[in-house]
Structure formats: structure tokens, C-alpha cells
């Protein structure tokens, strides 16, 4: 018994991120893996409350839980480590067949060292905070504090050693370094220590890779010098952690970001974090970080789509590390997968009695869970196939485009996004999307009957979406919710198009299992999807005149 276990665990390959031709794949147990995630609330990292977390994760049909592990809890006294929380967490996750993404809450938890041990937080001399230009001191640790890096790294290495020794089956598939790093209220540290560094040359590796001329921070980045300087040093701090941690156990590691509004950035955001303007700098300065992951609290389609564009790049795999847990956010699961996302993880998914409204939902109950559960239940039966096709073939995913949430729910910097005036909401184009799939085009419409040609009026609330994967030039895997999907021939095809065959089925052990053919009413008016899950294989053809 014991022997077989050792043999299996030794054979279990490490989770990893694979990049080929600018496309990314996240592998677990030697296979492509799609993170159908859930993130627990901030203070859910204690054994006594875990039984309030699992039921929500299970109701969602999630396969991965993101949950904090705090520096203050594993090293309450300097040099004395306690991993009893992880013992319980790992065991309970395994019993439920769930994987974990551990969030290392340490030097930065949204700007502040709240989760650092008291012996760190109370010793400003040894662990210096960011000094503002006016000389006042912020409650955000400076990335230039050598002792801070050393102490944080030491604890992080112990955490990775714990995983190396106690998690041979890789229940933990990813580790997040810090949480929403950066500083609110100053573009950088202006302490004497920082000033000395700020006068120096920008490291040549950075200027060269960014294609910029060498010089001091001020010379190279001009009015953006302060922010770039701060971002570089935070990125290097995270890089040191990632490198040291990976040397112990080579798990995928990510850094999550408190976003700035891509259309109206302003300067009130968490400076120095990997916001879109310094994303390339971060990728260069922190090469051991596998990905920079957006935390999405914009509710509107236009802003979310832009964020997904910005964070899915040949040099950055897209993982939506956090997204609000209210209904309007759920459908962006479709667009995340359409951007070749490796995962999606709504925030605040547990019953520990907290709701981060107005960012997320007002309450945690069945109604809050349902929109996410519906999506995971739709995709989970073919998640591995999807993840494989996303990497090896071409995939598309779209969420219903118009926004239907109430004005008063537009908060924070999402305020800035323009809304359509009500009187033009009758335009069917608002509820129509088109995709060029190669030889074939597809039109997706929302909010119409299954039969006949009445124009689309949108779902209320907006909640539809579609997923398409290319199987071959004339063959697609398709699923959707609350949408009509109509194929047509693109200009490349000179002959007349027809639907050759639409099979409904499912996958078993990676093999397509045929259930029935959709024909007649089921194909005459496009392929109409309701709130029930249907998986289709669509084969298209042409006839000559």
C-alpha cells in the first residue's frame, strides 16, 4: 500500500505553465488543466472556518480553491514556524478532490503589511515603510528594505519546503506571491535610501529589452520615472521570492494586480503593481513569475474586455485571479476562455459572513452562487478537452455585450465607462456579435425566441455567452447559454453553405460520445441555447451551383 503510494506520487509531474508560439497552457498531473476557481474571503485561512468554505466551493462545482496563507500565521515569532493550518487545509482539500492556489499574504496585502507578523510591522527601523515626498510615512513597506526581502523570502522558502515535503501529489498547483502589491498614496519611496537609488542608471537589461536609451530613471522615463522605479523594485522583490521558492519546489507562481481603469487611469491606483502601463517592465524584471493576473472589479463589458486583452499576451498567460462574485461578472467566464484564459476565480466564495459589496454581491447565498455554478457545470465535463484545444487549436468565447446592471451599482473607477442611453437599447445590433472563424463566420444573438426571426432584445439580466473551439476547418465544438448561434460561409468559400451535421453529445475519457443529431426546427433558426447545457459538434459543408 505505502509502496504504491510512493511510486504514484514520485511519478506525478509538477504543475507547470507551457508556452509555445505565444500560446499558453497550464498543466496539472501531466495534462492540460482549466482552473474553475473560487477564492475565499481574506480571513478564511484558519482551520476553524474551513467548513464554511468547502460547501460553497462544492456548490459552485469549482475544481480549485484560492485561499490565503499568512506570514503572521506561519512565523508568529521570528524563526519559529507553524504549519498546522496547512496540514488541515491540504488534507481537507484532498478529501474533496480539490486543488489549491495558495496566496502568500506577506509584505504586501493590498499595499499594506497587514498580514506580516507583528515583529515585522512594529519594527520600522529594520523594515522601513514608504516615505512620501513630503516626508510623511505610509503604512506600505518599501521594496528597497533589504531586511524585509530577506525575512519575507526566508518565510516563503519555508513554506515551499513544507510543500516540497508534505505535498508530493501537488494538491497545491500554484502559489500567488503577495497580494495586490504596490502602494496607495505615493508613486514611490522618497526616503534617503530610495533617493540614492533613484539617481542611478536604469539597469541596462531593462532599457535594452524595452528598446529604450540608457540613462537615469528620470532621463529614461521622464514624468513616469517615479512609478517605473517603484514598479521595478517591487517586481525585483517578487522575482527574488519566486526564484528562491521555485528552487525548492518548482510550482507555477503568479502575481495579482489591483487594476487601474484602462480607459481613465488617473493616479489613485496601487502604484508599482503590475498595472497595464508597467506590465512589460514587470515581465522583464520578474521572469520567474509565470503570470500577472488581473483582479477584475469592473462590472461593464467594455472595460472587462479591454482588461482581458491587456493581460492575455504572448508573454503573459491570462488567469483571472479575482473577479467580483455578483451576477454581472459571471458571464465574463466566457470571454476569459475566449482570451485563452487558463482559469477564472470569483472572489469571496465562502460562508464566513462577509460580503464585499459594492465590489461583489450583497449576500452570499444560493442566488449568488448559481450564475457561477451554471457556468462551471456547463464546462467541467469537457474542461480538459477545452484546455487542450485552447492551446493546440483555436478557440473563441464571448459574453453578452450590453450591460444591464443598475446605475447605482457602477462604482469606483468603473464609473467612468460610458453607458448606452436607454432609447437606443432597441437596436438589435446591441445584442449581436460576429466572429470570423476562418472559412466560416458566426453570428451570436441574445434574447430571442428559439423559433423564427424576431430580432434579439438581450437577456435580462445580461447573462448569455458562447464558447467555440475549432476541431478542423469545417468542424467546431460549440456550447452556449441563452444565445442563438448562426453559422454562415465567409468570402473565402465560393459555394453555397449548409449545415452538414450537428451532433449533440458529451465526452467520456476524452472521447466524443454521440447522443443525437439536431435537425429541422433545431437547426432551421440557428442553434438556440437556453439555460440548459448542450454540447454540440457542428460540421459545415458547401454545395456547388
Is position 292 an interface residue for ligand N0T (rule: CB under 6 A)?
no
Is position 104 an interface residue for ligand N0T (rule: CB under 6 A)?
no
Burial 430-453 (b: 16+ CB within 10 A, else e): ebbbebebebbbbebbbbbeeeee
Is position 412 an interface residue for ligand N0T (rule: CB under 6 A)?
yes
Query: Would you give the distance in Å from CA 533 to the centre of its chain?
Result: 24
Smallest separation, CB 258 to ligand N0T (Å)? 5
d(CA 379, CA 376): 5
Is the CA virtual torsion 463, 464, 470, 473 positive or negative? negative
Q: How many CB atoms lie within 10 A of CB 79?
A: 10
Sequence-distant (≥ 6) Cβ neighbours of residue 323 within 8 angstroms: 295, 296, 297, 329, 332, 344, 345, 346, 347
Smallest separation, CB 368 to ligand N0T (Å)? 14
Sequence-distant (≥ 6) Cβ neighbours of residue 40 within 8 angstroms: 53, 65, 66, 67, 68, 348, 349, 350, 352
> Which three cell numbers mark 33?
488543466
d(CA 197, CA 190): 10
Residues pairing with 543 in the sheet: 496
> Which three cell numbers mark 181?
502589491
Residue 70's nearest CA partner among 156, 1, 147, 146 is: 156
DSSP state of 232: H
Instruction: Please state whether the peptide bond connecting residue 358 to the residue before it is cis, i.e. omega within 30 degrees of 0.
Output: yes
Is position 229 an interface residue for ligand N0T (rule: CB under 6 A)?
no
Smallest separation, CB 354 to ligand N0T (Å)? 9
Which residue in the set 72, 189, 295, 300 belongs to the binding site for ligand N0T (CB under 6 A)? 295
In the bound state with ligand N0T, the residue whose beta carbon lies nearer, of 256 and 390, is 256
Smallest separation, CB 110 to ligand N0T (Å)? 5
Is position 239 an interface residue for ligand N0T (rule: CB under 6 A)?
no
Residue 70's nearest CA partner among 15, 118, 25 is: 118
Binding mask 26-65 for ligand N0T (x = CB under 6 A): ----------------x-----------------------
Which residue in the set 174, 359, 369, 485 belongs to the binding site for ligand N0T (CB under 6 A)? 359
Is position 19 an interface residue for ligand N0T (rule: CB under 6 A)?
no
In the bound state with ligand N0T, the residue whose beta carbon lies nearer, of 240 and 295, is 295
Which residue in the set 197, 352, 356, 404 belongs to the binding site for ligand N0T (CB under 6 A)? 356
Report phi then psi at 320, rounded to 5: -80, 95
Is position 100 an interface residue for ligand N0T (rule: CB under 6 A)?
no
In the bound state with ligand N0T, the residue whose beta carbon lies nearer, of 412 and 498, is 412
Is position 297 an interface residue for ligand N0T (rule: CB under 6 A)?
yes
Tell me the three state secondary structure of residue 500: strand
Residues pairing with 531 in the sheet: none
Binding mask 247-266 for ligand N0T (x = CB under 6 A): -----------x--------
Question: Beta strands 395-399 and 16-20: pairing type?
Answer: unpaired
DSSP state of 352: S
In the bound state with ligand N0T, the residue whose beta carbon lies nearer, of 180 and 290, is 180
Which residue in the set 179, 275, 327, 479 belongs to the binding site for ligand N0T (CB under 6 A)? 179
In the bound state with ligand N0T, the residue whose beta carbon lies nearer, of 353 and 427, is 353
Question: Beta strands 23-28 and 343-346: pairing type?
Answer: unpaired
In the bound state with ligand N0T, the residue whose beta carbon lies nearer, of 39 and 312, is 39
Is position 71 an interface residue for ligand N0T (rule: CB under 6 A)?
no
Is position 144 an interface residue for ligand N0T (rule: CB under 6 A)?
no
Smallest separation, CB 39 to ligand N0T (Å)? 8
Smallest separation, CB 263 to ligand N0T (Å)? 17
Which residue in the set 110, 140, 303, 463 belongs to the binding site for ligand N0T (CB under 6 A)? 110
In the bound state with ligand N0T, the residue whose beta carbon lies nearer, of 179 and 390, is 179
Which residue in the set 72, 75, 167, 180 belongs to the binding site for ligand N0T (CB under 6 A)? 180
> Using CB atoms, what's the residue nearest to ligand N0T?
356
Binding site for ligand N0T (CB under 6 A): 42, 110, 179-180, 258, 295, 297, 322, 347, 356, 359, 412
Amino acid at each position: 500500500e505505502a509502496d504504491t503510494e510512493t511510486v504514484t506520487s514520485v511519478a506525478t509531474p509538477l504543475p507547470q505553465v507551457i508556452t509555445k508560439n505565444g500560446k499558453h497552457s497550464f498543466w496539472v498531473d501531466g495534462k492540460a488543466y482549466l482552473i474553475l476557481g473560487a477564492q475565499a474571503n481574506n480571513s478564511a485561512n484558519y482551520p476553524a472556518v474551513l467548513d464554511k468554505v468547502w460547501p460553497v466551493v462544492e456548490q459552485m462545482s469549482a475544481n480549485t480553491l484560492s485561499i490565503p496563507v499568512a506570514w503572521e500565521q506561519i512565523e508568529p515569532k521570528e524563526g519559529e514556524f507553524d504549519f498546522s493550518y496547512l496540514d488541515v487545509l491540504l488534507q481537507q482539500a484532498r478529501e474533496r478532490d480539490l486543488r489549491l492556489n495558495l496566496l502568500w499574504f506577506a509584505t504586501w496585502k493590498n499595499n499594506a503589511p497587514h498580514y506580516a507578523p507583528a515583529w515585522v510591522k512594529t519594527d520600522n527601523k529594520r523594515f522601513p515603510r514608504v516615505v512620501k515626498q513630503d516626508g510623511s510615512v505610509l503604512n506600505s513597506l518599501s521594496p528597497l528594505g533589504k531586511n524585509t526581502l530577506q525575512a519575507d523570502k526566508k518565510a516563503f522558502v519555508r513554506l515551499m519546503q513544507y510543500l516540497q515535503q508534505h505535498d508530493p501529489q501537488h494538491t497545491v498547483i500554484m502559489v500567488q506571491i503577495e497580494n495586490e502589491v504596490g502602494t496607495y498614496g505615493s508613486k514611490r519611496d522618497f526616503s534617503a535610501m530610495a533617493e540614492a537609488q533613484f539617481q542611478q542608471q536604469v539597469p541596462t537589461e531593462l532599457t535594452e529589452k524595452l528598446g529604450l536609451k540608457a540613462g537615469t530613471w528620470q532621463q529614461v522615463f521622464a514624468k513616469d520615472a517615479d512609478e517605473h522605479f517603484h514598479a521595478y523594485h517591487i517586481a525585483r522583490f517578487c522575482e527574488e521570492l519566486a526564484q528562491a521558492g521555485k528552487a525548492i519546489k518548482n510550482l507555477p507562481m503568479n502575481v495579482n494586480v489591483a487594476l487601474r481603469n484602462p480607459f481613465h487611469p488617473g493616479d489613485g491606483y496601487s502604484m508599482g503593481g503590475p498595472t497595464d502601463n508597467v506590465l512589460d517592465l514587470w515581465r522583464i524584471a520578474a521572469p520567474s513569475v509565470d503570470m500577472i493576473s488581473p483582479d477584475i472589479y469592473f462590472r461593464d463589458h467594455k472595460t472587462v474586455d479591454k482588461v482581458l486583452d491587456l493581460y492575455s499576451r504572448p508573454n503573459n498567460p491570462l488567469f483571472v485571479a479575482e473577479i467580483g462574485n455578483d451576477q454581472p461578472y459571471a458571464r465574463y467566464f466566457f470571454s476569459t476562455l475566449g482570451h485563452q484564459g487558463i482559469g477564472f476565480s470569483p472572489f469571496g466564495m465562502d460562508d464566513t459572513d462577509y460580503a464585499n459589496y459594492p465590489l461583489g454581491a450583497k449576500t452570499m447565498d444560493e442566488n449568488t452562487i448559481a450564475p457561477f455554478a451554471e457556468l462551471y457545470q456547463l464546462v467541467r465535463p469537457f474542461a480538459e478537452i477545452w484546455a487542450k484545444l485552447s492551446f493546440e487549436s483555436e478557440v473563441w468565447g464571448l459574453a453578452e455585450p450590453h450591460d444591464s446592471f443598475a446605475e447605482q451599482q457602477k462604482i469606483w473607477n468603473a464609473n467612468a465607462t460610458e453607458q448606452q442611453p436607454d432609447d437606443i437599447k432597441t437596436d438589435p445590433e446591441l445584442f449581436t456579435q460576429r466572429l470570423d472563424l476562418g472559412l466560416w463566420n458566426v453570428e451570436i444573438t441574445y434574447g430571442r425566441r428559439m423559433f423564427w426571426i424576431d430580432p434579439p432584445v438581450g437577456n435580462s439580466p445580461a447573462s448569455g455567452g458562447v464558447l467555440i473551439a475549432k476541431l478542423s476547418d469545417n468542424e467546431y465544438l460549440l456550447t452556449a447559454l441563452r444565445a442563438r448561434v448562426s453559422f454562415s460561409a465567409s468570402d473565402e468559400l465560393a459555394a453555397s453553405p449548409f449545415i452538414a451535421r450537428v451532433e449533440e453529445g458529451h465526452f467520456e475519457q476524452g472521447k466524443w460520445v454521440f447522443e443525437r443529431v439536431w435537425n429541422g426546427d433545431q437547426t432551421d433558426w440557428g442553434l438556440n441555447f437556453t439555460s440548459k447545457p448542450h454540447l454540440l459538434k457542428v460540421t459545415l459543408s458547401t454545395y456547388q451551383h
